Structure 1
Amino acid sequence: MTNEKEEQAFLEAQLQWVKQRDDLLAQVEEKLYEMKHIAEQVALDDTSMLENQKLRLNERFLQLKNEVAELENQLRIFYN
């Protein structure tokens, strides 16, 4: 009986671990898609984009890059 309870507790902990990782990966994916969208906007620019618009896009891109790096750090914690 104790082994069964221990196994169930272990499996529940593993399930929680997977759900947390899945959530972090979904957040990374969302940010990467936004970064892709920004890159596509800039690549398709026919020089009609104002300089301040480009600066705002660049700032947002760098912010997303930092957020992805932080999420990656959180994912590494799960491996250790």
Structure 2
Amino acid sequence: MHRDDRLALVRSAYDVVAESYARLLPDASFEAPADRGMIEAFATYVMEGNVRSVVDAGCGAGRMTRLHPSISPAYLQSSSGSLLPADTP
């Protein structure tokens, strides 16, 4: 199978479940408290200027951007290879 065909197949499969995934998992409330704590600590570390950029590769519909008040879609960049842009607040 050609690379472009594989990519089209992956995009199609993602599109089938993307809306349901975002509706069923709209935020991080289902995550374990320890997981949320680690994510919040990482977000704080990043937003304090300790990291220039972060790659969020295939991590859902953008629900983690709601965990830290300083994270804004203005800071997000989607690459040309993104299947769909993040669903950010």
The normalised TM-score by structure 1 is: 0.26
User: Relative contact order (alpha carbons < 8 A, sep ≥ 6): 1 or 2 greater?
Assistant: 1
The normalised TM-score by structure 2 is: 0.24
